[in-house]
Structure 1
Amino acid sequence: MKSVKKLPLTDQCHHWTHLGEVPWDLQKYWQQRYTIFPTYDDGIYMTEDAWYGVTPEPVAIYLVYDFVGFISPRKRTVIDMFAGVGGNAISLAMATEEDGYTPRFDKVIAIELDAATLACAQNNAAIYGVESKITWVLGDSFKFIELLTQSPSELEEDLRVDLATTAIFASPPWGGPGYKTDEIFDLSTMEPYNLVTLHEAYKAMDHALYLPRTSDLRQIAKLVPDNVKIDVVQYCVEGASKAMVAYIPAAVDGPVGDTADQSMS
């Protein structure tokens, strides 16, 4: 698996400027475009599916602030497992130390399975001036983690990161907007990847999971032993909850279990 350079925008990448251009089922999302990306008019591109899952910029900024507070200062690499059109990867790449200048992460790796979506992400990151600060990977993020943890020699050198100093951020697909009808969302039925599948893949490292706002907290709590703390935060925009993020420490008995980091979480 290799990193990729600049991908071309395709006819699946859109920058709509008039409501009449927008498919009817996306019009309410397009009308919120300045909340999602305040820089939309500067040339933000999105695929149609991305409108359902992109993290609004105000939420991305705050959750990255919380994410940095959750992980140890020695976590210098972060992997965005589902980069989408770049909302979270951009905020991760823009994160700084307390001085406001030094980048918080030495490396940000953003993985996306769909080429058109990744092309949009690269375009959008360029608008924020951080395209070159992100290592872009076109491929299956689960395969990437499998190689990283079991066969790192099969990754190009630039992608062979130290698991002990790496954290994961994952904003997986939720199976479409149907989750909104559930008073309590059953994470075992989330498609195409349920909660246990995600946690099992990531448990060797500190990881944050971006989940539906009505997710079942009991299911999240069962991921770790009773003496391990999981932080769960609801993120709101204009008084309405958009999502929750569960911040989950690495398993002590995982391949890179870190007792010191456990005690800090």
Structure 2
Amino acid sequence: MPILDTLSDVSSDDSNNSVFVTKPAESHISDPPPCESSAQIALSESCSEKVVKRVKLKRKRKQKTDPPYKDPQLLKYWNRRYDLFERFDSGIKLDRDSWFGVTPECIARRQAQVCACDLIIDAYAGVGGNSIQFANTCGLVLAIENNWSRIQLLKHNSNVYGLSSRIMPVCGDVENLLRSLRSVALQTPTTNDKGSGGMDAETTPSNSEVVSSTAANAEPIFPVVFMSPPWGGPGYTGVVLPPGSSSWNTRKRRKWFATSEDAVEPTKNLEDLCGFQDAVDAAKHMGCRMLLYLPRSASVGQMLCLGWPSKVCSCAVCRVQNPVVIEEYSVRGRRVAVGVYVGDFPLEVE
């Protein structure tokens, strides 16, 4: 086969006159973005501010509507919410401190059956755990609470149970209100006194003299006073470690806590309850029977002393020594609290 010479057509002159064209290298620098107007910049900033405000608002709403069970300290109380109020899903409202202080409904129902009377005072009423049950068995409940927000929650919860007409909430200090209430009714003038134009001012006994002379025999206006003072939250509970535990390491402490089912709790000193003893003395001066809802670890000796004569008053009513009965309360097999009955109560009521 003939061999084709591919370079035969190329002359030496063409090689000298040839022109080489090279393409410019592409630049890696991008074109500058188009300039935005001030109106567009302001619009983008306003949109970003709206987004930030919307996110903050959602966070606030989420914080307000977060259920209490998301708080690890309130988790066990949230799991027992139907023990506190059987109608919890009907709209019961509680604040944070009320989760620790509300009396379980089964215990409050038992206390209301024992304390059935015409008028009853519920000191430290809180959000109405006991007041609602007292309204089922008593004619009128005077609910005393020093926190106005809890007064509003009490009204709301009593409306859930349909018993708001039998509960009279009062915002104020327990001791001052108990001392301002009249213990017994005043003596009404007889027909002879009315016909003679009344007694002279010098011979007319004062209100305090009439009350002190008739309080020992007369029936008090408020037969029963119920007190459930704040215990100090869940911090009042604890476990007493055995001797020599100061040298234990963390592993040994955990093992001891895991195996100690019947561990001893520290005794609760009733003197640590702010204003409690003063409120008890004020209730004694009224001649009322008392039911005191106290921690399960309260000192037995201090509970028995609640029936002794008052040390701050020497009137005929305060000198009386009342019988004391201590009743233990358990919910689902768990010992919760104790009730101290000061005075004569029909405890056989079921």
What is the TM-score when the length of structure 1 is the normalising length?
A: 0.72
Matching of residue 189 in structure 1 with residue 287 in structure 2: no
Structure 2 counterpart of 1:148, which letter? Answer: L
Separation in 1, partners of 2:221, 2:304: 24
Q: Which residue of 2 aligns with 1:222?
A: 305
Contact 2:178 2:279 in 1 (8 A): no
Q: Give runs of ≥4 in structure 1 deviating > 6 Å.
A: 14-17
Alignment: residue pair count: 213
Q: Which residue of 1 aligns with 2:335?
A: 241
Q: Which residue of 2 aligns with 1:107?
A: 140
Q: Which residue of 2 aligns with 1:71?
A: none
Separation in 2, partners of 1:230, 1:239: 25
Q: Which residue of 2 aligns with 1:232?
A: 326
Report the 3-state secondary structure (helix = DSSP H, G, I; strand = E; otherwise coil) of the residue aligned with 1:243: strand
* CA deviation after TM superposition for structure 1 residue 106, in Å: 2.3
Q: Which residue of 1 aligns with 2:205?
A: none
Matching of residue 199 in structure 1 with residue 280 in structure 2: yes
Cα deviation 1:228-263 (Å, max 9, x = unaligned): 4211101110011111110112xxxxxxxxxxx69x
Which residue of the other structure, out of 151, 154, 171, is the alignment partner of 2:228?
Answer: 171
Correspondence 1:1-265 to 2 at 5 A: 18=67, 22-68=70-116, 75-95=117-137, 105-149=138-182, 163-181=220-238, 182-190=265-273, 192-194=274-276, 196-203=277-284, 204-225=287-308, 228-249=322-343
The alignment's C-alpha RMSD in Å is 2.9
* CA deviation after TM superposition for structure 1 residue 166, in Å: 2.7
Task: Say if 1:29 and 1:165 are closer, same or farther in 2 by CA, change over 3 A.
Answer: closer
Q: Which runs of 5+ in 1 are unaligned?
A: 1-13, 69-74, 96-104, 153-161, 250-260
Contact 2:122 2:227 in 1 (8 A): yes
Q: Which runs of 5+ in 2 are unaligned?
A: 1-62, 186-218, 239-264, 310-320
Report the 3-state secondary structure (helix = DSSP H, G, I; strand = E; otherwise coil) of the residue aligned with 1:244: strand
Separation in 2, partners of 1:19, 1:223: 36
* CA deviation after TM superposition for structure 1 residue 217, in Å: 1.2
Structure 2 counterpart of 1:34, which letter? Answer: Y
* CA deviation after TM superposition for structure 1 residue 90, in Å: 0.3
Structure 1 counterpart of 2:123, which letter? Answer: M
Cα deviation 1:32-84 (Å, max 9, x = unaligned): 1111111111100001110010001111111222333xxxxxx4210001110
Contact 1:185 1:215 in 2 (8 A): yes
Task: Say if 1:141 and 1:231 are closer, same or farther in 2 by CA, change over 3 A.
Answer: same
Report the 3-state secondary structure (helix = DSSP H, G, I; strand = E; otherwise coil) of the residue aligned with 2:337: strand
Structure number with the bigger relative contact order (C-alpha 8 A, sep ≥ 6) is 1
Separation in 1, partners of 2:122, 2:342: 15
Task: Say if 1:163 and 1:108 are closer, same or farther in 2 by CA, change over 3 A.
Answer: same
Separation in 1, partners of 2:97, 2:271: 22
Separation in 2, partners of 1:15, 1:247: 41
Report the 3-state secondary structure (helix = DSSP H, G, I; strand = E; otherwise coil) of the residue aligned with 2:181: helix
Structure with higher Rg: it is 2
Contact 1:67 1:247 in 2 (8 A): no
Structure 2 counterpart of 1:184, which letter? Answer: T
* CA deviation after TM superposition for structure 1 residue 215, in Å: 0.9
* CA deviation after TM superposition for structure 1 residue 143, in Å: 1.5
Separation in 2, partners of 1:224, 1:144: 21
